[in-house]
Structure 1
Amino acid sequence: MFVFGLLSLLVTVGLPILVVVLVLRARSGRAGRPADGVSIRRFFQYLLLYVLTVVAVTGVADLLGRAVGGAPATADEGELARVLAFAVLGVPMAAGVAAWTRRGLRRDPGERASTAWAFYLWAASLTALGVAAAEAQQGLAAAFAGRADAAPLVRALVWLSVWTVHVLLGERTLTVSARAPHLAAGSLVGLVLTVTGLVQLGGTAGRLALDTGHAVVAQDVANAGALAVVGGLVWSAYWWGRYRRAEPDRLWLAYVLPVGVGGPFVVALVGAAIALAAVGVWFLGEPDETSAAAHFAGVPGAATAVVVGLCAWWYHRRVFSRAAPPGRTEITRAHEHLMAGIALVTAALGVVIGLRAVGDAVAGAASDPPANTFLLAATLLVVGTPVWWHFWGRAQRERRAQPDVEVRSVTRRLYLFLLFGVGALTGVVAVLVTGFVTIEAALRGDLGRATLTDVGTPLALLVTAAAVSGSHWVVYREDRALAVDRVPAAAAPTFPRDVLLLGPDDDALVRSVHDAGARVEVWVRPPEAVHGAGWDTAAVLGLLAQHPGGAVAVVLDDAGPSVVPVEAVRRPWVRAGAEPGHDVGRDRRAQ
């Protein structure tokens, strides 16, 4: 068993390390510079520091938890040996690697700016945060349920101390942009925990109020309440205390828009669909339960999801609106198309369920009452269609009002391409699955209603995907045709395309010719060849204006500048004043 465990450790730990080493060496080779080993050393150093930190803190936290709460009843000598080994051996090893890392950070400023150091701080902070949140939730749940259990709270305090140390290290050593991914991840964790805890709290409290006979509903309420409290603290520490006031860059907007606005909106839609479906089945369908309390046991949680989701959506929508620039921008379009896409997927799911129900009814093999299935499909359509109509209709109205701007929008094109591509891919997979099931049944000689049941879902996906993909492809083609019709005719050239200057080096002339729209190359002639003459910028520009659209060489001699039309065979042209970091002088040739 020891050998198998060792082999497993080598595969699970050694293989990823080997892959990283090979990637780093390949990158060094492509860059054309020798691999100095710094990146590999940093990777191993911070990986070792992370592993030893987790081991040492786990041992110390478990020892303190045992000291406060006593050893668990199921504890054995092996478990105690693990805890002692982690604490006694892990702490000094972690301290040694930490001291080595501290000296490196002080001696070499490049260590602080390295990606490996930033990744270590992110990983260590988020790991400590996750363990502390789990332990705190366990301890608070016990307290809410009326039981005293101090061990989880002590372990949570130990991990919280580790989290605090690494957060402070990040504040001192990382730039604002390097701290942003950690803040975004922490805000995401806090938001998910808070929303999940509140939804579970509303659902368990509702079941308790309905008295559905749930055996451990009181403990469920305590667990959900503790999760909501812990999530709220995490979200407040990360988002409200820090990330809320950050610069609204791409990462910030990526958190606020898809996560803060889109995520709660999905929660609200799902909750509304569940609640409406339960109501519809009770009054119009065939409920499985005869008791109203048992049938509506999931409605309190669904209703809570609607309330919590809408509140979180409204809050982040306000934050997003304040950060977005005034007027209609790509950020505004991204919000509209995100909401329209979520609602469209919801409505499309309703269509798929409805078509599958029709196929089951025809085949006579429905596992659920057809009325219930049709009610669920109708509920999804009722929930998703109005929302999609609102946001997509707004985008279409803007397209009709400002076609020149809207049809060239990156967000709109991405939305249309994404829906067309996902729909096409779904359709291809559905066709393959349908063909496989049908051919297999035909080879068995078993074609019949059972086959229709088996291909019901793929066929429903195929029809729905074809409708979604086809309709958005039509919209995209209309946008493309409109964009082509509105492209202004190309103006006739008024200046040469390429210019070769033969004479003294004159940055002002090069810049003027480049700004006029030509690609410029300078060949410097010796001073004795031009007898000290210099360029007359106005005269050169006047001569060049007489040769629009071609390639010319401008030669400076005793008689002044003269233009010779040429034909460029090779094009090593250099744009004067080009991109930052481009060495223009390196490409200028001396004649």
Structure 2
Amino acid sequence: MSAPGASSAPSAPAAPGAPTASGRAQGVVRRVLVFLILFALVVIAAIGLSGLLERAIGGTITLAGGTAALAQSLAFTFIGVPLAGLLWWWERRRLLDSDDRASLAWSLYLAAMSTTALVTATVALGSAAAAGIEGRWRPGDLATGVVWAGVWFWHRSLRRSERLSPARLPGLSAILGWVYGVGVFATGAIAALAALVGEALAVVAVPLASSQQWWVPLLQSLVWTALGGLVWWWHWRREGARSASGAFAGVALVIVVGAAAAATLFAIGTVLFVLLRLVFDTAPAAEAIEPLDRAIAAALVGGIVWVIHARVVAERTDATRRGARLVVSAVALIGAASGFGVVVNALLAALTPTLAGDNARTLLLGGLSALVIGLPVWWIAWRPGRAVPVEDAASTARRVYLVAVFGASAITAIVTLLIIGYRIFEFVLDPGGAGGLIERIRGPVGLLAATGIVFAYHFAVWRRDRALAQEAAPERPRRVGRIVLVAATAPADIAERVKAATAASVVLWQATDGAGPVDDAWVARLPAALEGVSAPRALVVAEPDGGVRVIPLAG
């Protein structure tokens, strides 16, 4: 047999028409550049058309910006639109006749442009409607909204086309639109409910003088609520975001649940804080209930969004359910730990005569509110008293969660220790400065106490889970890591075939005699021949009669 030359198999002539590695790379680069240019041209064309439409519905040729803005709109329209149309005509032919439709670049372009058009259109139309409620006419926002809505409808038709729809990540645009719609709906609904609650509470807390009637911001918020609800419903139901599968859909669902849980728990904690202040604090009622309107609104809206998506999570995979539970646990843990730290801060503040008692009481009530709300929710989501199944202890999501929690706690504790040390040395060097020692370190000490407890608990749970997973994990048999294959002839992709069959890297040596050819049947017999062989490397010889001879190699 001949001495080994290069570490790769001798290449056989490629089949006619088969794409080479360099050809595939050029295709990827071409598609990325084409879609980037198309994205820019569509944006330019939309800006130009929006400017011209603004002047048409505004009733004058020269609005803000004068002739310079008009010249820009004309240039963007009469240059951008033809170029975008020409490039799309050329690329559309390739989408129909080649593998561009299955490329990731096409999917990302549709998602990026659809989301950009959706956000721009809704923001512009919402701003135009909100201005109209105040009696102001804004043709620019209306024109922008109409043009970008047209861009969105065009790209939606491309996503729904049987011949042009993307073969990869088909639901990406729907998922992004659904998340955006939820955010707009929640923001608008919270503002609308806050306006109503604030007006109802006006008998207790007289608002400051305002040039607006209370119903003006209410109607404006309802506009955003309607827009967000429409976008949410359309993408959730009509575009199929609710039934979308895949990792990205699961991650988006977990993020929405976590954000809704965070808003709801924070708002409920604020409501409890207001109630405790009204009962135990000496502050005026108007000052105490100041944040109550937005807190009640956020609690109601956040709770509705949380419940709706939690029901969907219950229908998804175990990984999605576990991820949602961990996110809620993390949100509640942050609230409980923050509340505990504030309680320690307040107790230390009560020891210092320089701080007014009312301020220490207010601080204590705030910490108790966060602790009372966060701790039970964390207990329900995390369930520390239950026996952890082996599959949970070995799950990647739980391990990442534990490492992230105690890692962040450790970093926070280190930074807090440095701050405490700085404050102590500052007091020793300048004891006559503002505030005593306790006053200077009470905040960092409270934070250190909370992070220390969080770190110790989660680090202990991580070690216990790791030991449980290691005990339950079956012993993995040692396998050959590298194969030196000796054969007379072999296909050009023999390295990929053998690696797929054995999970080992392959080096091919071509023999001049004493070895046989390698084909699919021979590759199928190779795993059985390697069974029981434990060595870092193995010399595998293809026998002339089709057999497999394995020689383990040391090192």
* TM-score, normalised with respect to structure 1: 0.73
Q: What letter is aligned with 1:207?
A: G
Identity across matched positions, percent: 22
Q: What letter is aligned with 2:280?
A: L
Q: 1:514–1:156: structure 2 CA closer, same or farther, 3 Å change rule?
A: closer
Q: 1:92–1:410: structure 2 CA closer, same or farther, 3 Å change rule?
A: same
Q: Name the residue aligned to 1:266.
A: 262
Q: 1:235–1:381: structure 2 CA closer, same or farther, 3 Å change rule?
A: same
Q: 1:199–1:457: structure 2 CA closer, same or farther, 3 Å change rule?
A: same
Q: 1:61–1:279: structure 2 CA closer, same or farther, 3 Å change rule?
A: farther
Q: Name the residue aligned to 2:448.
A: 462
Where 1:322 maps in the other structure, the secondary structure is coil
Q: Name the residue aligned to 1:379.
A: 369
Q: Name the residue aligned to 1:3.
A: none
Q: Deviations over 1:343-365 (max 9, x none)?
A: 11111111122222233333344
Q: 1:434–1:555: structure 2 CA closer, same or farther, 3 Å change rule?
A: closer
Q: Name the residue aligned to 2:52.
A: 60
Q: Name the residue aligned to 1:282.
A: 278
Give the CA RMSD over aligned residues.
4.4
Q: Name the residue aligned to 1:419.
A: 405
Q: Deviations over 1:322-373 (max 9, x none)?
A: 233xxxx333322222221111111111112222223333334447622121
Q: Deviations over 1:402-428 (max 9, x none)?
A: 3x3222111211111110111111112
Where 1:433 maps in the other structure, the secondary structure is helix
Contact 1:500 1:523 in 2 (8 A): yes
Is the counterpart of residue 104 in structure 1 residue 90 in structure 2? yes
Q: 1:54–1:421: structure 2 CA closer, same or farther, 3 Å change rule?
A: farther
Q: 1:210–1:111: structure 2 CA closer, same or farther, 3 Å change rule?
A: same
Is the counterpart of residue 314 in structure 1 residue 303 in structure 2? no
Separation in structure 1 between the aligned mates of residue 201 and residue 184 of structure 2, nearest angstrom: 25
How many residues are aligned here? Answer: 512
Q: Name the residue aligned to 2:65.
A: 79
Separation in structure 2 between the aligned mates of residue 369 and residue 298 of structure 1, nearest angstrom: 17
1:239 to 213, 236, 241: 236
Shift in Å, 1:520: 8.6
Contact 2:342 2:447 in 1 (8 A): no
Q: Name the residue aligned to 1:391.
A: 381
Q: Name the residue aligned to 1:296.
A: 289
Q: Name the residue aligned to 1:184.
A: 175
Separation in structure 1 between the aligned mates of residue 461 and residue 297 of structure 2, nearest angstrom: 38
Contact 1:398 1:406 in 2 (8 A): no
Q: What letter is aligned with 1:256?
A: L
Q: 1:63–1:455: structure 2 CA closer, same or farther, 3 Å change rule?
A: farther
Contact 2:182 2:228 in 1 (8 A): yes
Where 2:245 maps in the other structure, the secondary structure is coil
Q: 1:545–1:228: structure 2 CA closer, same or farther, 3 Å change rule?
A: closer
Separation in structure 2 between the aligned mates of residue 556 and residue 297 of structure 1, nearest angstrom: 83
Q: Name the residue aligned to 2:155.
A: 166
Q: What letter is aligned with 1:191?
A: V
Contact 1:186 1:235 in 2 (8 A): yes
Contact 1:138 1:226 in 2 (8 A): no
Separation in structure 2 between the aligned mates of residue 50 and residue 432 of structure 1, nearest angstrom: 53
Q: What letter is aligned with 2:244?
A: E
Contact 1:210 1:297 in 2 (8 A): no
Q: Deviations over 1:111-155 (max 9, x none)?
A: 65666655554444333323322333234445667x585745555
Q: 1:33–1:297: structure 2 CA closer, same or farther, 3 Å change rule?
A: closer
* TM-score, normalised with respect to structure 2: 0.77
Separation in structure 2 between the aligned mates of residue 488 and residue 520 of structure 1, nearest angstrom: 27
Q: Name the residue aligned to 1:156.
A: 145
Q: What letter is aligned with 1:388?
A: W
Shift in Å, 1:200: 1.2
Where 2:283 maps in the other structure, the secondary structure is coil
Structure 2 spans left out of the alignment, 5+ residues: 1-21
Separation in structure 1 between the aligned mates of residue 57 and residue 151 of structure 2, nearest angstrom: 16
Q: Name the residue aligned to 1:227.
A: 224
Shift in Å, 1:554: 7.9
Deviates more, 1:192-201 or 1:329-338: 329-338
Shift in Å, 1:442: 4.7
Q: Deviations over 1:530-567 (max 9, x none)?
A: 9xxxx999x99999889877987688999998989664
Q: Name the residue aligned to 1:336.
A: 325
Shift in Å, 1:297: 4.8
Q: 1:43–1:434: structure 2 CA closer, same or farther, 3 Å change rule?
A: farther
Separation in structure 1 between the aligned mates of residue 343 and residue 289 of structure 2, nearest angstrom: 23
Separation in structure 1 between the aligned mates of residue 504 and residue 417 of structure 2, nearest angstrom: 54
Contact 1:171 1:179 in 2 (8 A): no
Q: Name the residue aligned to 1:132.
A: 121
Separation in structure 2 between the aligned mates of residue 143 and residue 503 of structure 1, nearest angstrom: 80
Separation in structure 1 between the aligned mates of residue 546 and residue 236 of structure 2, nearest angstrom: 68
Q: Name the residue aligned to 2:4.
A: none
Contact 2:102 2:168 in 1 (8 A): no
Q: Name the residue aligned to 1:218.
A: 215
Where 1:243 maps in the other structure, the secondary structure is coil
Shift in Å, 1:171: 3.7
Separation in structure 2 between the aligned mates of residue 464 and residue 31 of structure 1, nearest angstrom: 57
Match runs of 1:448-459 below 5 Å: 449-450=435-436, 452-459=438-445
Q: What letter is aligned with 1:199?
A: I
Separation in structure 1 between the aligned mates of residue 196 and residue 43 of structure 2, nearest angstrom: 41
Contact 2:131 2:138 in 1 (8 A): no
